[in-house]
A and B are shown apart, each in its own frame.
Chain A
Amino acid sequence: MSGMWPLWEVFIRARRGMSHIHVGSLHAPDAEMALRHARDVYTRRGEGVSIWVVPSSQITASSPDEKDAFFDPAADKIYRHPTFYDVPADAPHL
């Protein structure tokens, strides 16, 4: 059964105006069944207005092992943050 059925990741948009957020995973033979299962298990109390299902095998992830090196370029560029800049306190709307 599930040994043959691929794993799907489920993303739900809780309300209009919000992004889809990962809520969990499930097994299903195809995308249509994955959507139906996702509706049955993850939206029994009106938790969503839209569902995405994505085959887990199609997700490419950064590796936790290389996280420091991988995210390094962000670490030393503090000038990307507004707090880096000294501006007079009396300059309005900055």
Chain B
Amino acid sequence: MDGSDEQEAAFYAIIDADGRIEPRDDMPEAYRRSLVRQIAQHAHSEIIGMQPEGNWISRAPSLRRKAILLAKVQDEAGHGLYLYAAAETLGVSRDELLDKLHTRRQKYSSIFNYPTLTWADVGAIGWLVDGAAITNQIPLTRCSYGPYARAMVRICKEESFHQRQGFEALLALTRGTPEQKAMAQDALNRWWYPSLAMFGPPDTEGGGAKRSTHTEQSMRWGIKRFSNDELRQRFVDMTVPQADVLGLRMPDPDLRWNDERGHYDFTPPDWDELFAVINGDGPCNAQRIEHRVSAHHEGQWVRDAASAYAAKRQRHLEGVA
């Protein structure tokens, strides 16, 4: 938007009426830039997120689990596509965004920088990581930018299978041998705090009441509907009873129901660790990007062949006509 007061007023009138902004509407440049960053980061997370689980496709314990895992990982590729397409409506190209991912100028969710050490990790990711993603994504189906909101509707429909298959895989382990149950507990121990960190840093700065300016601005724009802490609490409240069904213990000695608040009290994740992982010091940061870049390069001949074939057919059609 070139900043005329009239255009700005029209934009905020739509936002205040809980309407949707569509691609060719006038919008503040900061709104557009913020959306591009958020949607791109979200798209990158979907496709980088294929790696930790992809690691177990060839070693899934049964054909049933293998087919399920393949379908889930394929879904995540689809989620990436929906989101890149939504970002492209804001005037950026997918190539440009992929290039920024490959050169580490744009980020993805730090959760995918942790390794999947055992088969139980696949179950824990479906249950906790997809569970946290759903908690984050459901409010985004009402976000003010139409193409992003519509992509989220489609994604949320597909996510519920992801969470349920993870829970079921863990349940099979917790009902199995003592070794299998221990493996499930170990996976929960390692994935619990990184999952809590998926909601981002606390909204209050230094324990004060002031929300971060970023959250404040996103809420004013109708992109964000709930604070990081509200969503984190919602996830904890939803997940703790599920752990009981699994017969697993949350790795938090201070976790308990607070009657007064009507919520569980819990220990927050280690924020220094989160920032270290975001800034490149996680166990798998380098590996994830290297793998993504090499997969992209190794796929180049397929893209070239498809282009060459399309060009040849076009020439043929023109020659015949």
CA distance A24 to B151 in the complex (A): 8
CA distance A25 to B151 in the complex (A): 11
Chain B nearest CB from A28 CB (Å) reads 8
Determine whether B104 belongs to the interface, using a CB cutoff of 8 Å to chain A: no
Determine whether A69 belongs to the interface, using a CB cutoff of 8 Å to chain B: no
Name A62's closest neighbour in chain B (CB-CB). Answer: B24
- Interface of A (DSSP majority class): loop
Which B residues between 262 and 321 are near A, CB-CB below 8 angstroms? 300, 303, 306-307, 309-311, 313-314
Name A10's closest neighbour in chain B (CB-CB). Answer: B85
List residues of chain B with CB within 8 A of the CB of A61: 24
The answer to whether A30 touches B313 (Cβ under 8 A) is yes
The answer to whether A1 touches B303 (Cβ under 8 A) is yes
Which A residues between 1 and 30 are near B, CB-CB below 8 angstroms? 1-5, 7, 23-30
Which A residues between 25 and 44 are near B, CB-CB below 8 angstroms? 25-30, 33, 40-41, 44
Determine whether A63 belongs to the interface, using a CB cutoff of 8 Å to chain B: yes
The answer to whether B82 touches A1 (Cβ under 8 A) is no
Determine whether B118 belongs to the interface, using a CB cutoff of 8 Å to chain A: no
Chain A nearest CB from B229 CB (Å) reads 33
Given A41-B78, A44-B75, A61-B24 in contact, is the A24-B85 Cβ separation under 8 Å? Answer: yes
How many residues on the A side are at the interface (Cβ–Cβ under 8 A)? Answer: 22
Contact of B94 among A24, A27, A28 (CB under 8 A): A27
CA distance A1 to B310 in the complex (A): 13
Determine whether A88 belongs to the interface, using a CB cutoff of 8 Å to chain B: no
Determine whether B25 belongs to the interface, using a CB cutoff of 8 Å to chain A: yes
The answer to whether A29 touches B93 (Cβ under 8 A) is no
Determine whether B16 belongs to the interface, using a CB cutoff of 8 Å to chain A: no
Name B7's closest neighbour in chain A (CB-CB). Answer: A65
List residues of chain A with CB within 8 A of the CB of B93: 2-3
CA distance A30 to B313 in the complex (A): 9
The answer to whether B95 touches A2 (Cβ under 8 A) is yes
The answer to whether B24 touches A3 (Cβ under 8 A) is no
Determine whether A46 belongs to the interface, using a CB cutoff of 8 Å to chain B: no
The answer to whether A5 touches B307 (Cβ under 8 A) is yes
List residues of chain A with CB within 8 A of the CB of B314: 30
Name B317's closest neighbour in chain A (CB-CB). Answer: A30
Given A1-B303, A2-B93, A26-B81 in contact, is the A63-B74 Cβ separation under 8 Å? Answer: no
1/0 contact trace for A67-79 toward B, CB 8 Å?
0000000000000
Given A33-B310, A61-B24, A64-B24 in contact, is the A7-B88 Cβ separation under 8 Å? Answer: yes
List residues of chain A with CB within 8 A of the CB of B150: 24
List residues of chain B with CB within 8 A of the CB of A44: 71, 74-75, 78
List residues of chain A with CB within 8 A of the CB of B230: none
CA distance A41 to B151 in the complex (A): 12
A-B contact pairs, 18 of them (CB 8 A): A1-B95, A2-B95, A4-B307, A5-B303, A24-B85, A28-B306, A29-B306, A29-B307, A29-B309, A29-B311, A30-B313, A33-B306, A41-B82, A44-B71, A61-B24, A63-B24, A64-B22, A64-B25
**Besides A41-B82, A64-B25, 19 other CB < 8 A contacts?**
A1-B95, A1-B303, A2-B94, A2-B95, A5-B307, A24-B150, A24-B151, A24-B154, A25-B88, A28-B306, A29-B307, A29-B310, A29-B311, A30-B310, A33-B310, A44-B71, A61-B24, A64-B22, A64-B26
Q: Which chain B residues have a beta carbon within 8 Å of chain A's beta carbons?
A: 22, 24-26, 71, 74-75, 78, 81-82, 85, 88, 93-95, 150-151, 154, 158, 300, 303, 306-307, 309-311, 313-314
Q: Which chain A residues have a beta carbon within 8 Å of chain B's beta carbons?
A: 1-5, 7, 23-30, 33, 40-41, 44-45, 61, 63-64
